[in-house]
Amino acid sequence: MEDFPLLYKKDIIENLDSITTVKEKEAVANFTGGTTGASMKVLYTKDNVQERNALLDHFRAHYGYKLGKRCAWFSGKNIITEKDLKKGICYKDDYINRIRFFSTFHITDANFDVYWTAFCKFAPEFIVGFPSSVYELCAMAASRNLKLENKVEAFFPTAETLLPVHREIIQSVLRCKIADQYASSEGAPFILECTEGSLHIHPLTGIFEVVDENLQPAQEGEILVTSFTTEGTPLIRYRIGDRITLAPKEFKCNCGSAFPLVEKIEGRSTDYILSPTYGKVNLGNISNSTKGVKGVISFQVIQNELEKVEVLIIANDNFNKKQQEKFYHALSERFGVNMSISMNLVDNIPKEKSGKFRVVKNNIKP
């Protein structure tokens, strides 16, 4: 693989016409969100789209899902209006496939009852979508001591990094299995969670190289992906901007699969706060800072200057003075003493245009 040069986002954005192997009208165009500034387009062959969907269907089938089972979907589509909300509507139904698409833009404390009622009434057997949205709904339910009556079989997170706190709260409120995955709309190969709870690289979908800051092979770091299902826009050693940690080679999974194991999907390599004391503090570390702190439903850390961060917090009544101090202390420990931290309680933290939620918004990264 080392004989091939790296492929960057910029290369694809600027040279798509010479990279792609298909005509746009014969292809399926896919746009990735503009979170890094530029929105990017890739062209898939129809065969590849079917192949990728078949893989996902096969993965979800391990957990009992098939199209037609009641499924709640939380993805970043603008599907409802303020007027709908006033009438108590926060979703759109696909009656044929029995999928209820919930808006991810309106999950707030004020709208909780509307969401919870629609969610319970629908009684989903499966859930697919943004973990932060499902988590928010569950966290609000938990702070009201509510649990879902019916049994959800499994939740399949998509598009965002599943954090340990997501897993914990969602499992406690919905009592369901959670089957994580890594994939991307550009067409990266797959990492899928097996029924034994391990993350396996799926080598039939492509190659993952994990590299350190000097692009040398590493156990933990950024990934270079080479995909077998993107013949329309070939991705070879594509620097996608996500990080993973591989599991030690000697690890074996009880499921019997020999596919390589991943210890953690760390998320976007740009999700970090720059600390004057410690350098990059990554998303996983930051999201852990609510451990043992009562009352925080969600929070976002915004950095506009090197020595200062603003923390927006949505919390319930349990977030008293003592818990606030605890949270402040946990953040301060991670960012170092030279970082000034201002904490602000808010009712709502806006989502990105893509509908995703960012725990970390770093506006000073190079």
Comparing CB distances to Zn ion, the nearer of 57 and 196 is 196
201/314 with CB nearer Zn ion = 201
Of 139 and 192, nearer to Zn ion (C-beta) is 192
**Closer CB to Zn ion, 146 or 253, in the complex:** 253
Task: Identify which of 327, 340, 336 has the alpha carbon closest to the alpha carbon of residue 280.
Answer: 336
Kindly state the greatest CA–CA separation across the chain.
61
For residue 293, what are its two tokens? 């702190």
Instruction: Identify which of residues 158 and 257 has a Cβ nearer to Zn ion in the complex.
Output: 257
* Cα 164 to Cα 41, 266, 289, distances in angstroms: 32, 11, 11
Question: CB neighbours of 316 closer than 8 A, spacing ≥ 6?
Answer: 143, 295, 297
For residue 351, what are its two tokens? 């989502």
Which stretches of the chain bind Zn ion, using CB under 5 A?
A: 194, 196, 198, 253, 255, 257
Q: Closest approach of Cβ 246 to Zn ion, in Å?
A: 15
Q: Residue 308, exposed/middle/buried by CB under 10 A (0-12, 13-18, 19+)?
A: middle
Could you give the CA distance from residue 363 to residue 306 in angstroms, rounded to a whole number? Answer: 10
Q: Which residues pair with 217 in a beta bridge?
A: 211
- Write down the least CB distance from residue 261 to Zn ion, Å: 7
Which residue's CB is nearer to Zn ion, number 198 or number 289?
198
Nearer to Zn ion, 19 or 253 (CB): 253
Reduced to 3 states, what is the DSSP secondary structure of residue 224? strand
Please give the span between the terminal C-alpha atoms of the chain, in angstroms, as a whole number: 28
Burial category of 199 from C-beta neighbours within 10 Å (exposed 0-12, middle 13-18, buried 19 and up): buried
Instruction: Between 194 and 283, name the residue whose CB sits nearer to Zn ion.
Output: 194
Instruction: Compare residues 59 and 74 and give the one whose CB is closer to Zn ion.
Output: 59
List strands edge to edge, sheet with 360-362: 340-345, 308-315, 296-305, 360-362
Q: Mind giving me the DSSP string for 188-216?
A: PPPEEE-TTS-EEE-TTTEEEEEE-TTS-
* Nearest one of 270, 258, 190, 177 to 230, comparing CA atoms: 190
